[in-house]
Structure 1
Amino acid sequence: MDFNHTEERRMLADSLRRTLERGADWAALAELGVFGALFTEEEGGFGGAGFDFAVVFEELGRAGSGLPVLEAGLAGGLLADCGRAELVEQIIAGTLRVAFAHSEPGLRYDLGPIATRCDDGALTGRKSVVEGADTADLLVVTAHHGDTVRLFTVNPKGPGVSLHTVPSLNGGAVSEVTLEAAPATEIGGHMGMVETRLAAATLAVCADALGAMETAKAMTLDYLRTRKQFGVPIGKFQALQHRMADVAIEIEMARSAVINLAGHLHDEPASRDRHASAAKSLVGRVARLVAEEAIQMHGGIAMTEEYALARVARRLIAADHRFGDEDWHLERFIRLSA
C-alpha cells in the first residue's frame, strides 16, 4: 500500500491551508473544491477515498475551523447512497447545507434502538447532539417506518421542527432537534449505509484531531523556546524536553493510526469497523494526552480564553467523545477481533 499522497492531494492540502489561514468561509471552501473531495466521481465529486478525507480534515483541524464540513460529507454521502444526485450537486457547489440527525437521548454511542417514527409522512421524536443543524438547509433523519429504519429529509425551518442550539467544544454548535409531526420526505436507505458513512466520519474526526495535535505541538514548542526562567528558555530543561519528546512520539502513533484507517476505509464492514475502532481508541487517548501536556507545559496562560491553546485543547477533548470515545471503541475492537 502506497502511503504517499498524490500530487493532487498535496496541492489541495497546501491550498486549503493557505485559504484557512486567510479566514475561509463556506463559499471559499466550495470554490476550492473541498466538498468535491468528499465524494467519488460517480457521486459527482473527484475524491471520496480515505486519504481524501484525511487530507481535508487534518487541515481543518490544524486551523481550528468551526465550519460543519464533516456534516456535508456525512449527510451528503447518505443522500448520494439514496440516489439524490441533484442534492449532492448542490452540496458540492456550496449552495446547500445539510446535517445528519440520528442520535437520540439515552443512546450514547450506539446506533439503536431509536424511537423516532414516521406516521403518514410526518416524523415525531427527538434527535440529540446534531452538529450544524442551526445553519442547515436540510436534515437527513433516521426514523422507523413500519418495522425498518429508513432515511428521511426534513426542513429544519419547517413546521413541527424546533431546535435548541448551544455552542460545542469543537468550536461549532450542536442542537437538540424536536420533531412533532414534522413533514418529511422518505429517501430510502438502511442502517448499513449509515454505518458505512459513520466509518468515514470517524476517520474525519481522527484526522481533524491529528491536525489539532500538530497545532498544539507547534504552539508548545514555540512557548518552550521563548518562555524564560533563571535566564534561559524553559525548553532547555531536560524534564520538559523528555515530555515534549513523548508528545511528539504519541502524535506520530496517531498519524499512523489515521493512515491505517484511511487505507482500510473501503474494506468489508467487519474489517473496516475494526480498523476504525483501533484508530479512534488510540487517537482519543492521544488527543487527551496532548491537550493535557500542552496545558501543563504552558502553565496558567493555557487556561485563559485569550490564548489560542484553550480552544485547541477543547477541540482535542471533544474529539474523543464524537462517534464513540476511547473506551467504547476499545470494547468494540475487542469484540470484532474475537
Structure 2
Amino acid sequence: MNFELSEDQQMLQNMLRQFLAQRYGFAERTAASRSDLGFRPEIWSALAGELGLLGATISEDRGGLGGGAVEQMIIMEELGRALVLEPVAETLFHGAWLLEKAGGAAAGLLADVAAGKVRLALAIGEPQMRYDYADVAATAERSASGWRLNGQKSVVIAAPWADQLIVAARTSGRAGDVAGISLMLVPVDATGVSMHPYPTIDGRRAADIILSDVEVSQDALIGSEGQGLELLEELRDRAVAAQAAEASGLLDKLLQDTVAYTQQRQQFGQPIASFQVLQHRMVDMYMHVELTRAAALLATLKLDAPADERARAASSAKATVAEACRFVGQNAVQLHGGMGMTDELPIGHYFKRATQIEGEFGTADWHLARRARLG
C-alpha cells in the first residue's frame, strides 16, 4: 500500500505550513486567545479566501474543493502543529460534513461555510450525559412553524464563535433509546437560545446552552427524522480521526521543542541532552509521536470502511492518542523544569491542548471498552 502523499496533497501541506509559520506566531495566538473575541477573524477570512481551506473537503458542486479524509488529516496535523484556535474542525470537518452527508435544505449553507461566512458548532452533550449519544434528552416537537426545541446542552466547543448550532434532540422516545434522535440546525440568535460562554483550559471557547421553546422551520431538520444517532456515531469516528491527526502535529512540536531545549540547557558543564537517561526518555516520546501518526493514518484510511471496521480503527486510535498525549505532554513539561509550567513558553499551552484532546469524544477507557465490544 502506498502511504505517500500525492503532489496536490503535498502542495496543500506545504502551503498551510508556510502560511501558519508566517502568520500564526505564538505571541499573536496568545493575544487572540486572551482577547474578548478569543480568535482572529482576519485569520479565518484568510483561511477561506486566500487558501480556500474552509472548503477543502466540501464537494465541488457545493462550492468546495472536493477533498476527502486524507486532506482532513493533512490540515489537522498542521493546525495542531501551530496550535490554531480557529474552529476549523468544528465548522468544516464536523458541521459541514454532517450537512453534506445528510443533504436536504440545510446543505445550502455549505457554500457560505466554504466562503468563511458561516461558522458551525455541535450541540450534542448534556449535563446528565457521558459519552453515549443515545442519552440525549433534549426534545424537538412539531409546531405550527416547524419544530419547537427545549433542553440543555453543555460544553459546546466553539459555540461562542458560531453562527449556527447543530443540535441533537429527541423527536420521539426517551433518553437511552437508540431511535428517535434528530439533528436540527438552529441559529445562535434564535429566540429562546441562552448561551453561557467560558474559556476552556486550552485557550479556546465553549458554552453551556439552554433551549427554551426555540422555534425553527421545518427545513431545520438535518437528515431523516429520528435517525440521527447513526450520523452522530460516524461523526464521532471522523472527529477522533481528525483529532488524532491534530495530536500528531501537536505532539511532534512538543517533542521538537523539548529536544531543542535539552540541547541548550546546561548542567554540570554540559547540555542535559547528553545524559543517557534523558535521551532514553526522549526516544520514548518519539515512539509515542510515531504511534500517534500511524494511528491517525489508520483511522483516516478506515473512515469510508464498514461501520464496525471504521469504529474499531477510531477507538484504537483514540486509546493510542490519549496515552501519547499524557506521556509526551507530561515529559515535555518535566524536561523543561519549572519553565514548562509558565505561560511565556509555548510548551505549557501545547500541553493543555493535549490534555483537552485526551478526553474529547470519549476517554481512552471508554474507547477501549467500545473496541472490546466490537471484537
Q: Report the secondary structure of 2:72's partner residue.
A: helix
CA distance in 1: counterparts of 2:244 and 2:57, whole angstroms: 15
CA distance in 1: counterparts of 2:67 and 2:154, whole angstroms: 27
CA distance in 2: counterparts of 1:232 and 1:323, whole angstroms: 44
Runs of 4+ in 1 over 3 A off after TM superposition: 40-44
User: Partner residue of 1:125?
Assistant: 151
Say whether 1:142 aligns with 2:168: yes
Say whether 1:294 aligns with 2:332: yes
CA distance in 2: counterparts of 1:85 and 1:191, whole angstroms: 19
Q: 1:272-316: CA deviations, max 9, x gaps? A: 001000001101101110001101111011011111100000011
Question: How is 1:157-172 mapped onto 2 (pairs within 5 angstroms)?
Answer: 157-172=189-204
Q: Give the CA deviation at 1:48.
A: 4.3
TM-score by length of 1: 0.96
CA distance in 1: counterparts of 2:102 and 2:221, whole angstroms: 6
User: Partner residue of 2:209?
Assistant: 177
CA distance in 2: counterparts of 1:41 and 1:274, whole angstroms: 30
User: Partner residue of 1:81?
Assistant: 101
User: Partner residue of 1:13?
Assistant: 13
Q: Percent identity?
A: 36
CA distance in 2: counterparts of 1:47 and 1:243, whole angstroms: 42
After superposing the two structures, state which structure 1 stretch, 163-172 or 4-13, moved more. 163-172
Q: Report the secondary structure of 1:214's partner residue.
A: helix
Say whether 1:27 aligns with 2:45: yes
Residue 70 of structure 1, aligned match among 60, 85, 89: 89
Alignment CA distance shift 1:52-1:89 (3 Å) = same
CA distance in 1: counterparts of 2:286 and 2:125, whole angstroms: 35
Residue 124 of structure 2, aligned match among 102, 105, 128: 102
Give the number of the structure with larger relative contact order, counting CA–CA contacts within 8 Å between residues 6 or more apart: 1
Amino acid at match of 2:163: D
Q: 1:83-123: CA deviations, max 9, x gaps? A: 23320111011111111111111211111221111132221
Does the aligned pair in 1 maintain the 2:242–2:296 contact within 8 Å? no
Unaligned runs of 5+ in 2: 25-41, 174-179
Unaligned runs of 5+ in 1: none
Q: Give the CA deviation at 1:44.
A: 4.0
Does the aligned pair in 1 maintain the 2:247–2:292 contact within 8 Å? no
Question: How is 1:323-338 mapped onto 2 (pairs within 5 angstroms)?
Answer: 323-337=361-375
Q: Give the CA deviation at 1:253.
A: 1.1
CA distance in 2: counterparts of 1:224 and 1:303, whole angstroms: 16
- What is the RMSD computed on CA atoms of the aligned residues? 1.4
CA distance in 1: counterparts of 2:360 and 2:67, whole angstroms: 21
Q: Report the secondary structure of 1:5's partner residue.
A: coil
TM-score by length of 2: 0.87
CA distance in 2: counterparts of 1:170 and 1:205, whole angstroms: 14
User: Partner residue of 1:60?
Assistant: 79
User: Partner residue of 2:27?
Assistant: none
Amino acid at match of 2:100: A
Q: Give the CA deviation at 1:170.
A: 3.0
